[in-house]
Every structure is written in C-alpha cells, then in structure tokens.
C-alpha cells in the first residue's frame, strides 16, 4: 500500500508537469496566431486600436471609428473577400445544412475532422463503419514519423479514459468541474507520452490532481449556495412570524370590538360626557359653548373689552341678523356659529370694539379659531375612518366565520378596491383625505 501511494504521488507530479507544458505550448501558439493576424492602422488619425475598426458586412469595408471610438470614418480596407458559409449546404436533401459536432480541444485535428457514418443496419453497414475507421486510423499519421504512436490510437485512449472518468464521477458524486479538469490533464499527459502502460493509474492520478486543485473553489461555491438557501429560509421564517403577528393583532381587534359593542348596547341609555369639539362643529355653537371655549384658551390677551365684549358683540350681531330677517323677510339669518365660521379678523375687531388692545384680541381669537377648525375637522375625519374600518372588519369576519382573520381580510381586499375618500369639514371650509387601509 505504501509503495502504491508513493507511485501514485509520483505519477500525479508527472501528469501535472505535462499539463503545465501543454499550457505553455498553447500559449505560444496563441501568440504566434496573434502575430499572423492582420492589424489595421488608420493613415488619417493614426488609430491602431483594433477594437476601433468595424466591418461593413454588406460592402466588405473595414472602417476606422477613431482613437476615441466616435470619429474618423476612414476606410482602411475595401471589398473584403467573402469566405462563404460556416456550414456546407446540400440542395438535394431535406436538411441542406450538414455539419458535425463542434471540435473538442482534447482530441487531435484528425479526430475532430473525421467523417461519421450513420444509418443503415446489418452486417454490411457495420463492415462499412469498420472500414471507415481503419481508413481514419491509417490517415491519422500521414506525414509524421511512422515509429511514433498513431494519433488515432491516442484519441481512442482518451475517449476510453473519459468514459471511465464519467463513471467514477457518477459513483463518487464528483463535481463536473473536477471531471472536466481531469480530462484536460489526461489529454495533456496522453499527448506527451508515446506509451502508457499504467492506464488505470493515470486516470486516478488525473482525478486526484483535479480534485486537489479545485477542492477549495468548489467548497467556496457550495458555501455560497448554502448561505443563499439559509438566507432564503430565514426571510421566509421572518415573513411567517410577521403574518402570524398580524393575525394575532387582528384577532385581538375583533375581540375588543365585540366587547365594546356589547358594552355600548348595555350603556346606551346613559348619557355620555364627551368633549365639545369632538362632537359638535363650530357652526353649531351657541353663546354658552363659545364662552366655554374662550375660557379654555389661555393664550388670549386681556385688556380692553376682553372676551366678554367679544361675546356680547357677536351675540348682538346674531340678534340683528334675526331681526332683519323678521322685518324685511330677507334671506335666512346667520346663527352665532355661522358668524364664527364666516368671520375674519376685521369683523372680530368690530365685535370687540375699537382700540389697539381689542385689535390684538381679535387677531388672537381668529388664530385660535382657525386652529380649532383644523383640529375639529381632523378629529371628525379620524372618527369616520375608524367607524368605516370597524364596519368593514365586522362585515368581513361575519361573512367568513370559519376562516382566520388574516385570510378573510386578504380575500376581501382582492374582491374590492379601496379608494381614498375625501372627508370634508361640513361648513368649516377644511378637508382632509384619508383611506381605510390595513
């Protein structure tokens, strides 16, 4: 066992050297091909960047686009020779495009350019195929040293080794990258050696070398894929917990609504004490409500006629409106609340009386009244939205009693589109847009 391991390690070093030699040879060939490739140079703008020359396939011209890629236009070559189609065309057959498999870099040129015969059954077809193989075998070394191993024989060795590698990779669950790298190493090793007595050991050495080379890279790729799967699972768990929390909160809302509904039905006979501005709008205020609101405003200045003078002035204005309506039969008289809604700073100054102190009081009352209008409109809008939300939730839950709260709301949202509804502030001139959303 120790001798076999030592022999395998020595063979691994040899096949790796052969692979490095093959890479060096390929690099030299590519450099030689690059030297033989025609290079263009524009005589007008002196551009020699080959990427800045374009081919006009219709006219066969090679055009310079300048060193910056946005100018020139000089034709450096015209009427380029058309090299024909990539595939051969056969007009007399149903499929006129005849081509073989793409060339395999692991095999020789004679193997890649061979003719494959297909179709036919029986001994005659088999004999024709074997004859073609013997011809290909004889032509593989024409013009070369006859004492060297035929290229056809090396290619057959490679094909057999590649089949064994695929079988081993399937049995050991090896990555495809390892198999492809092992094929490259074996092809370089077989091209270098004229005789290969240790065929099975060479295959094992190539697989071990490829596995050692790519193991770290494959581990990184597997770690990345595992991390992606773990992150996806974590995101899914977070989403599940979030939906579960939403469902629990919705169930709690339903229970609280049921309790509040039962309590409101029991206490419906009791009068409820609520804040003035939460129920009544400014347009429906009377004298007592106006005095109560003015008393709660600590920011109003004192002096002059004071708030009592303002209340007295606006009450007198409302009485004059009512008397004028009775005597002249004019339009409907404005109430005290309507005078507050339609009033401005100048009118409030008239109610308070003349004087600079009364002017400051009128301005303060007007400012506080505008703030009260906005607050009243906002509170009524929120109350309306809350009532609409409670109604929708009750309807959804009662229509689907056998389902969970979350699934009921989701199905209800699919069946109806909730559009924003404009909530107006009655006669207060204020409005706010809101929508029932979850």
CA nearest 368: which of 302, 296, 315?
Answer: 296
Query: Mean pLDDT over residues 49-55, rounded?
Result: 86
Please state, in angstroms and rounded to a whole number, the distance separating the CA atoms of residues 130 and 260: 94
Whether 255 shows a pLDDT value over 70: the answer reads: yes
pLDDT reported for residue 425: 44
Closest CA to 425 of 360, 370, 387: 370
Task: Retrieve residue 30's tokens.
Answer: 């590519």
Mean per-residue pLDDT for 331-344?
A: 74
Domain annotation covers residue 79: no
**Residue 333 domain-assigned?**
yes
Please provide the average confidence, as pLDDT, over all residues in the chain: 74
**Residue 174 domain flag:** no
Q: Indicate whether 317 belongs to any domain.
A: yes
pTM: 0.41
In the predicted structure, residue 25 carries a pLDDT above the cut 70: yes
Lowest-pLDDT choice from 188-192, 342-346, 367-371: 342-346
Q: Note whether residue 3 is domain-resident.
A: no
75 vs 53: CA distance, rounded Å: 9
CB 360 within 8 A of CB 266: no
For the ranges 143-147, 214-218, 257-261, the maximum mean pLDDT occurs at 214-218
Which range of 177-181, 252-256, 298-302, 344-348 scores highest in mean pLDDT? It is 177-181
| Residue-level pLDDT at 367 | 82
pLDDT at residue 166, as a whole number: 93
**pLDDT tens track for 66-122:** 888 778 888 888 877 666 655 555 555 555 555 566 778 888 777 777 666 665 666
Comparing 414 with 181, the larger pLDDT belongs to: 181
271 found inside a domain? no
| Domain containing residue 410 | 281-434
Total number of domains in the chain: 1
What's the rounded Cα separation, in Å, for the pair 360 and 368? 12
Q: Which of 428 and 317 is assigned the larger pLDDT?
A: 317
pLDDT digits (tens, 9 = 90+) for 128-185: 767 766 666 665 555 555 566 777 788 888 999 999 999 999 999 888 889 999 999 9
Please check whether residue 170 lies inside any domain of the structure.
no
In a domain, 303, yes or no: yes
Instruction: Flag whether pLDDT at 43 surpasses 80.
Output: yes
Q: Could you give the CA distance from residue 63 to residue 40 in angstroms, rounded to a whole number?
A: 10
- The predicted model gives 191-216 an average pLDDT of 88
Beta bridge partners of 422: 433
- pLDDT tens, residue by residue, 288-332: 877 777 777 766 765 545 777 778 888 888 788 777 777 776 567
Backbone angles phi, psi at 11, to 5 degrees: -70, -35
- Report which of 205, 138, 122, 212 is spatially closest to residue 175, judged by C-alpha positions: 212
Sheet strand arrangement including 75-77: 53-56, 61-64, 75-77
- Report the pLDDT averaged over residues 434-438: 37
């Amino acid at each position: 066992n120790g001798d076999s391991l030592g022999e395998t390690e020595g063979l691994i070093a040899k096949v790796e050297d052969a692979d490095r030699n093959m890479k060096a040879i390929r690099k030299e060939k590519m450099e030689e091909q690059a030297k033989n490739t025609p290079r263009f140079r524009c005589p007008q703008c002196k551009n020699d960047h080959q990427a800045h020359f374009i081919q006009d396939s219709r006219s066969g011209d090679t055009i310079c686009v300048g060193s910056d890629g946005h100018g020139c236009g000089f034709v450096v070559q015209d009427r380029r020779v058309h090299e024909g189609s990539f595939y051969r065309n056969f007009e007399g057959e149903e499929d006129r495009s005849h081509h073989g498999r793409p060339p395999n870099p692991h095999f020789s040129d004679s193997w890649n350019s061979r003719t494959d015969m297909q179709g036919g059954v029986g001994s005659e077809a088999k004999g024709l195929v074997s004859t073609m193989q013997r011809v290909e075998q004889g032509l593989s070394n024409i013009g070369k040293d006859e004492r060297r191993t035929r290229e056809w024989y090396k290619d057959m060795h490679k094909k057999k080794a590649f089949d064994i590698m695929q079988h081993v990779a399937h049995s050991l669950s090896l990555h495809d990258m390892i198999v492809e790298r092992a094929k490259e190493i074996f092809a370089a090793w077989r091209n270098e050696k004229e005789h290969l007595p240790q065929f099975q050991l060479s295959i094992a050495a190539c697989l071990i070398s490829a596995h050692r080379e790519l193991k770290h890279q494959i581990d990184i790729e597997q770690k990345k894929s595992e991390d992606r799967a773990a992150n996806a699972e974590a995101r899914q768990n977070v989403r599940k917990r979030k939906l579960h929390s939403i469902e629990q909160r919705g169930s709690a809302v339903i229970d609280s609504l049921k309790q509040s509904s039962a309590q409101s039905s029991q206490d419906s006979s009791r009068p409820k004490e609520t804040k003035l501005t939460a129920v009544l709008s400014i347009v429906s205020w009377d004298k007592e409500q106006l005095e109560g609101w003015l008393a709660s405003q600590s920011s109003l200045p004192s002096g002059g006629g004071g708030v009592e003078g303002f209340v007295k002035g606006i009450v007198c204005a409302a009485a004059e409106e009512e008397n004028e309506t009775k005597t002249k039969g004019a339009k409907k008289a404005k109430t005290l609340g309507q005078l507050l809604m339609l009033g401005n700073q100048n009118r409030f100054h008239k109610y308070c009386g003349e004087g600079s102190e009364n002017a400051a009081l009128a301005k303060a009352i007007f400012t506080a009244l505008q703030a009260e209008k906005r607050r009243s409109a906002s509170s009524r809008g929120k109350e309306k939205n809350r009532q609409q939300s409670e109604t929708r939730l009750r309807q959804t839950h009662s229509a689907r009693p056998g389902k969970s709260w979350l699934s009921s709301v989701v199905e209800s949202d699919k069946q109806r589109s909730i559009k924003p509804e404009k909530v107006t502030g009655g006669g207060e001139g204020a409005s706010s847009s809101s929508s029932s959303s979850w």
